[in-house]
Amino acid sequence: MENKPIARALRLLSQLMELHEVNPFKIRSIANAAFKVDKLPFPVAGKSFEELEKVDGVGKSIAAKIIELLDTGTMVELQELLAATPEGVVEMMGIKGIGPKKVAIIWHDLGIENTGELYYACNENRLIEAKGFGLKTQEEIRKAIEFRMASNGKFLYAQIEKEANDLLDQLKNLFPGALFEFGGEFRRLCEIISELVIVLGSRDQTIAFDSLLKSEILNNITANGNHISGEMPNGLLVDIVCVEKRDFYKELFLQTGNDEHVAAVINRMADVIDQPESEELIYTKAGLEFMKPELREDDTFIARARDNALPKLISYNDLKGTLHNHSTWSDGVNTIEEMALYCRDTLKLEYLGMCDHSKSAFYAKGLSIERVLQQHEEIDHLNKKLDGFKIFKGIESDILNDGSLDYPDEILKKFDFIVASVHSNLKMDEEKATARLIKAIENPYTTILGHPTGRLLLSRKGYPIDYKKVIDACAANKVVIEINANPFRLDLDWRWHQYALDKGVILSINPDAHRNEGFLDMHYGVIVARKGGLYKEKCLNALSLQEIQQYFNNKKG
């Protein structure tokens, strides 16, 4: 019906008015008119003002708006309200289950300005603290956003890790005795997955192919050559490549590395091996040390593999402690003591670095100077109690617009270490954002640069920075760079780890935990760190308690 765009514009106008708390009577009449116009049995286009004002639910002032819309394609009032509303906030009003009133609270009280941040906040349990929100609403919003994200076909590694492994197990049950392995992005431990590739090597390729095609293991199954494609219930595309067992390792090699990598390896081979018995053999034949799947991006690590100088990649068990975490003192869910006991007894770690938000982060209950001092008393007390396990006094200090940190020096010097992060004014251009970070990096109290770009994967790009300048500044000022392990962040991006390591910069795998389960995100931090080629000697939180204590002392001294 031609009236749809008119109704939509009126509805948006009423929503924006509600968001900005314009006269409630007017809001109701415009919303009502939008509804009526949508249902009219005739188009409003071509009707005169006099005809329109007689329509039930329209009246003089709305008739004028409709005429304005038809004449100019918009309404001045709508444009003014749009200009006063961040684009992301308008977008949030389109999410199922939250109307303008809730969006207003999300925007003003929680400081959230787009869908990505909102999703992140749901996962951090931040919504339940806002007026009129409960656990149930938070969960509904989270689901609605996930549904939207899935519709563009891309998933975070963490979102599909379990489903992918379950699918592989199912396949193994279906074809006992066959060879199976993931290929593609998932096997390379990419942070974003757009397709799940599985290589299947069986004694009889045709039988396996046919029974897969008939199975209900995937939705919308189709066949193409020796590929079976389909979808998982969450919408992730799956591609199963069926080959004879003897061709398995060659196919696996071909399906794992990205195109540039596969080509680079093949180029080094005098003659191609037809049916290798392992992937190792392929690399040997190419004169290379075996390359773990996560390193098979482009030709980045090829020269090192040739020189037998690949790094011994970091593993989860190398981590001895965890830095950058939030407790109930700011926006976390668990107390410091609960977090410490979890780290000591469940995760078997040696130390915990607390980094609650600093005072500018008002939406996250950032700590005033007074509360910092109180928290330090609590930590001193707990450290006496915890017998060998150590809680370090840290803070996640906001980097202010001009690059300065959030407390005076007398307070900054009281911390064992400081993570400096940007949380506000994310829309700077590259030059300004880079200068802002560098100023913070040059601050003698900065120990770690937190989530360097502020990105939220699949939902917020993060501010543009000159990576080389920022990393060089960290090298010059002996500032550690965080690999934020939250699966939405994974920031510093793994593509820059080598540059940082080459410059002598140390990295730190920080979970940014806001509750005990959040510590487990270090798993995802380790995954991207491996992709970046990190090894334990260059990872801050792989230091033992004694070593890191020394490290902090040196930095401060």
CA proximity to 189, closest of 532, 452, 539, 535 = 532
Q: Enumerate residues 165-184 that contact Zn ion by CB under 5 A.
A: none
Q: Is 178 helix (H, G, I), strand (E, B) or coil?
A: coil
Q: Between residues 318 and 521, which has the closer beta carbon with respect to Zn ion?
A: 521
In whole angstroms, how close is the CB of 330 to Zn ion at the nearest point? Answer: 9
Is there a contact between 164 and 217 (Cβ–Cβ < 8 Å)? no
Among 421, 453, 459, 516, indicate the residue that binds Zn ion (CB under 5 A): 421
d(CA 161, CA 430): 34
Instruction: Verify binding: residue 510, Zn ion, rule CB under 5 A.
Output: no
In whole angstroms, how close is the CB of 457 to Zn ion at the nearest point? Answer: 15
In whole angstroms, how close is the CB of 427 to Zn ion at the nearest point? Answer: 17
In whole angstroms, how close is the CB of 530 to Zn ion at the nearest point? Answer: 23
**Which positions from 385 to 404 touch Zn ion by CB under 5 A, shown as an x/- string?**
-----------x--------
H-run or E-run covering 353: strand 351-357
Instruction: Verify binding: residue 239, Zn ion, rule CB under 5 A.
Output: no
Q: Between residues 175 and 392, which has the closer beta carbon with respect to Zn ion?
A: 392
**Which positions from 442 to 481 touch Zn ion by CB under 5 A, shown as an x/- string?**
----------------------------------------
In whole angstroms, how close is the CB of 421 to Zn ion at the nearest point? Answer: 4
Q: Between residues 493 and 512, which has the closer beta carbon with respect to Zn ion?
A: 512
d(CA 145, CA 151): 10
Tell me whether strands 448-449 and 227-231 are parallel, antiparallel or unpaired: unpaired
Q: Between residues 16 and 479, which has the closer beta carbon with respect to Zn ion?
A: 479
Sign of CA dihedral 124, 126, 128, 133: negative
In whole angstroms, how close is the CB of 393 to Zn ion at the nearest point? Answer: 15
Among 107, 512, 522, 552, indicate the residue that binds Zn ion (CB under 5 A): 512
Is there a contact between 85 and 19 (Cβ–Cβ < 8 Å)? yes
Could you tell me which stretch among 67-75, 166-174, 310-318, 507-515 binds Zn ion (CB under 5 A)?
A: 507-515
Is there a contact between 217 and 233 (Cβ–Cβ < 8 Å)? no
Q: Between residues 18 and 124, which has the closer beta carbon with respect to Zn ion?
A: 124
Q: Between residues 138 and 421, which has the closer beta carbon with respect to Zn ion?
A: 421
Q: Between residues 239 and 396, which has the closer beta carbon with respect to Zn ion?
A: 396
CA end-to-end span of the chain: 73
Q: Between residues 251 and 491, which has the closer beta carbon with respect to Zn ion?
A: 491
Q: Between residues 375 and 421, which has the closer beta carbon with respect to Zn ion?
A: 421
In whole angstroms, how close is the CB of 261 to Zn ion at the nearest point? Answer: 34
- Tell me, by CB under 5 A, how many residues bind Zn ion: 3
d(CA 225, CA 323): 50
**Which positions from 185 to 224 touch Zn ion by CB under 5 A, shown as an x/- string?**
----------------------------------------
Cα–Cα distances (Å) from 232 to 142, 160, 215, 229, in that order, read: 20, 10, 13, 10
In whole angstroms, how close is the CB of 396 to Zn ion at the nearest point? Answer: 5
In whole angstroms, how close is the CB of 278 to Zn ion at the nearest point? Answer: 43
Cα–Cα distances (Å) from 285 to 273, 291, 309, in that order, read: 8, 13, 17
Strand order in the sheet with 219-224: 179-183, 195-202, 237-244, 227-231, 219-224
In whole angstroms, how close is the CB of 364 to Zn ion at the nearest point? Answer: 8
Could you tell me which stretch among 175-183, 298-306, 366-374, 506-514 binds Zn ion (CB under 5 A)?
A: 506-514
Is there a contact between 528 and 494 (Cβ–Cβ < 8 Å)? yes
Is there a contact between 126 and 331 (Cβ–Cβ < 8 Å)? yes
Q: Between residues 350 and 396, which has the closer beta carbon with respect to Zn ion?
A: 396
Determine the residue type at 405.
L
Q: DSSP secondary structure string, 466-528?
A: -HHHHHHHHHHTT-EEEEE-STTT-BS-GGGHHHHHHTT--EEEE--BSSGGGGGGHHHHHHH
Q: Between residues 324 and 531, which has the closer beta carbon with respect to Zn ion?
A: 324
In whole angstroms, how close is the CB of 548 to Zn ion at the nearest point? Answer: 19
d(CA 98, CA 537): 48
Write out the residues near Zn ion by the rule CB under 5 A. 396, 421, 512
